[in-house]
């Protein structure tokens, strides 16, 4: 008798929402999320981390939005990010509205921090009008004092009630594009809270053990909680909240889903920029051509296709190999270092050929074989692109001015000292 396939429990049915191009819930694949540790105002540093997270397996990335500088940073980051960006909102309704102005794909609100009903409903109404989903991010460590007192502590019932109250505010303005999390640092509490949430709501659930700590202990705690629930069919997105490089979070999340058979094991790992205002090629078309060619050859590399040589090689420097366009040329790079410049119509062919050589010879050997003039030629193209299209090809500064105007009108342009983000 043939041996039948062994699988985890069937997924619990939930509503589906779209976070940019990522489907969540409703039978969609479980998604991996992580969070940047850079200052969001550091646009280049944050983008480099976002690309590294995407290369490690993150489908969604969250960035803090705790002050005006962070909101302005988001306006410059969102058009260049390869994955949907969720803004993490702490205490100020103005920061949520500024993040929406910046064009983020989603918001995360903590009911324990943003507590005024009229402000919650204002954000929900603005998100509704823009088609932006919100995660209700309940956290045992920041539970509303009234709920803590009523339930005698941060119990599963208290965490779920916090989410239910927030949902009621959203319902008053007819907003239902919602994902829910009920996190705790205690694994047993976290598991019980999510089981209750799964019985109570039909909204997608985001799983995580908050403040799990550094590896290896943090990995064990997070896996214990997340894997238990996934094996029961509960959960639509996950995050490992580690005291470590966030790339470790994304990598662990991807590996867990693969181990449980919830995501396919990856050979080729292709990342691509979203084709912003500086792109000079059909990024989507080139990426598809590269994907087809490399998958046929079973190339097991992280490969980046970037629309612009100005930022592309630096942002995707964690990729094994990539190509960026500029001045009708393709700038081929390995680990962020330009190794060759080819005509634009030879971009795909050159990338595929070099990828095969990287697999056969190794990265160090191919870096040693780089064209000595490639970096200088790429730098010249970068300067010319700046001269032709300016420093703000995405018109992000118009959005920044809008954010400043709104925040100045409300007298809010900062954040309380000592504030820390909740996982």
209 and 307, same structural domain?
no
Burial of 209 (0-12, 13-18, 19+ CB in 10 A): buried
Map tokens 């995660």 to a residue.
135
Q: Which three-class secondary structure state does DSSP give residue 254?
A: helix
Let me know: does 185 contact 173? Beta carbons within 8 Å.
no
351 and 242, same structural domain?
no
- Among the residue ranges 146-155, 210-219, 272-281, the one predicted with the least confidence is 272-281
Number of H helices, E strands in the chain: 15, 15
21 and 141, same structural domain?
yes
Residue 312 tokens read as 């592309």
Confidence grade of residue 265 (pLDDT, cut at 50, 70, 90): confident
Among 206, 236, 259, the domain boundary falls at 259
pTM: 0.85
Residue 1 in any domain: the answer is no
Backbone torsions φ then ψ of 373, nearest 5 degrees: -95, -5
- Within 10 A of 180 (CB to CB), how many other CB atoms are there? 27
* Mean pLDDT over the full length of the chain: 91
Confidence grade of residue 273 (pLDDT, cut at 50, 70, 90): confident
Q: What is the pLDDT of residue 353?
A: 96
* pLDDT tens track for 206-219: 999 999 999 999 99
284 and 237, same structural domain?
no
Report the alpha-carbon distance of residue 160 to residue 158 in Å, rounded: 6
Among 237, 259, 281, the domain boundary falls at 259
Q: Please state whether beta strands 31-35 and 22-24 pair in parallel, antiparallel, or not at all (unpaired).
A: unpaired
CATH number of the structural domain spanning residue 247 = 3.20.20.20
**Residue from 283, 316, 314, 286 nearest 301 by CA:** 316
Residue 12 in any domain: the answer is no
218 and 113, same structural domain?
yes
290 and 175, same structural domain?
no
294 and 224, same structural domain?
no
Count of domains in the chain? 2
18: enclosing H helix or E strand: strand 17-19
89 and 120, same structural domain?
yes
Q: Which range of residues forms the domain containing residue 331?
A: 269-396
Kindly calculate the radius of gyration of the chain based on its CA atoms and give it in whole angstroms.
Answer: 22
163 and 72, same structural domain?
yes
Confidence grade of residue 69 (pLDDT, cut at 50, 70, 90): very high
360 and 295, same structural domain?
yes
281 and 251, same structural domain?
no
168 and 39, same structural domain?
yes
CATH number of the structural domain spanning residue 346 = 3.30.413.10
* pLDDT tens track for 365-388: 999 999 999 999 989 988 888 777
Q: What is the pLDDT of residue 416?
A: 43
Q: Which three-class secondary structure state does DSSP give residue 323?
A: strand
Residue 119 in any domain: the answer is yes
Percentage of the chain lying above the pLDDT 90 cut: 73
Q: Please state whether beta strands 337-343 and 329-334 pair in parallel, antiparallel, or not at all (unpaired).
A: antiparallel
Q: What is the pLDDT of residue 131?
A: 97
Q: Is the pLDDT of residue 3 over 80?
A: no
Among 259, 277, 305, the domain boundary falls at 259
């Amino acid at each position: 008798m043939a041996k039948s396939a062994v699988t985890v429990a069937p997924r619990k049915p939930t509503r589906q929402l779209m976070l940019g191009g990522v489907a969540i819930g409703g039978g969609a694949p479980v998604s991996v999320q992580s969070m940047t540790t850079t200052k969001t105002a550091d646009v280049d540093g944050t983008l480099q981390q976002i690309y590294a997270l995407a290369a490690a397996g993150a489908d969604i990335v969250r960035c803090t939005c705790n002050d005006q500088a962070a909101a302005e940073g988001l306006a410059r980051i969102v058009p260049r990010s390869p994955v949907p960006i969720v803004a993490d909102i702490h205490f100020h309704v103005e920061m949520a509205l500024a993040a929406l102005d910046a064009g983020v794909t989603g918001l995360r609100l903590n009911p324990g921090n943003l507590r005024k009903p009229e402000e919650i409903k204002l954000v929900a109404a603005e998100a509704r009008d823009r088609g932006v989903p919100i995660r209700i991010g309940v956290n045992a460590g920041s539970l509303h004092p009234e709920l803590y007192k009523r339930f005698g502590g941060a119990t599963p019932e208290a965490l779920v009630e916090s989410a239910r109250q927030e949902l009621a505010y959203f319902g008053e303005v007819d907003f239902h594009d919602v994902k829910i999390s009920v996190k705790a640092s205690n694994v047993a509490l976290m598991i019980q809270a999510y089981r209750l949430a799964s019985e109570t709501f039909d909204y997608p659930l985001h799983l995580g053990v908050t403040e799990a700590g550094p590896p290896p202990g943090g990995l064990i705690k997070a896996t214990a909680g997340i894997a238990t629930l996934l094996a029961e069919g509960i959960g639509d997105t996950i995050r490992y909240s580690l005291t470590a490089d966030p790339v470790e979070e994304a990598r662990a999340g991807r590996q867990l889903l693969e181990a449980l058979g919830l995501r396919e094991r990856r050979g080729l790992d292709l990342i691509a920029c979203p084709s912003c205002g500086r792109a000079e090629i059909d990024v989507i078309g080139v990426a598809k051509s590269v994907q087809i060619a490399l998958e046929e050859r079973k190339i097991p590399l992280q490969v980046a296709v970037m629309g612009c040589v100005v930022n592309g090689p630096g942002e995707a420097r964690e990729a094994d190999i990539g190509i960026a366009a500029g001045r009708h040329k393709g700038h081929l790079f390995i680990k962020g270092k330009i190794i060759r410049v080819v005509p634009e119509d030879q971009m795909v062919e050159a990338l595929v050929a070099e990828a095969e050589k990287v697999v056969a010879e190794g990265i160090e050997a191919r870096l040693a074989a780089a064209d000595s003039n490639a970096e200088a030629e790429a730098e010249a193209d970068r300067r010319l692109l700046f001269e032709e299209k300016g420093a703000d090809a995405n018109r992000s500064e118009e959005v920044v001015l809008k954010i400043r105007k709104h925040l100045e009108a409300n007298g809010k342009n900062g954040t309380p000292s000592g504030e820390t983000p909740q996982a």
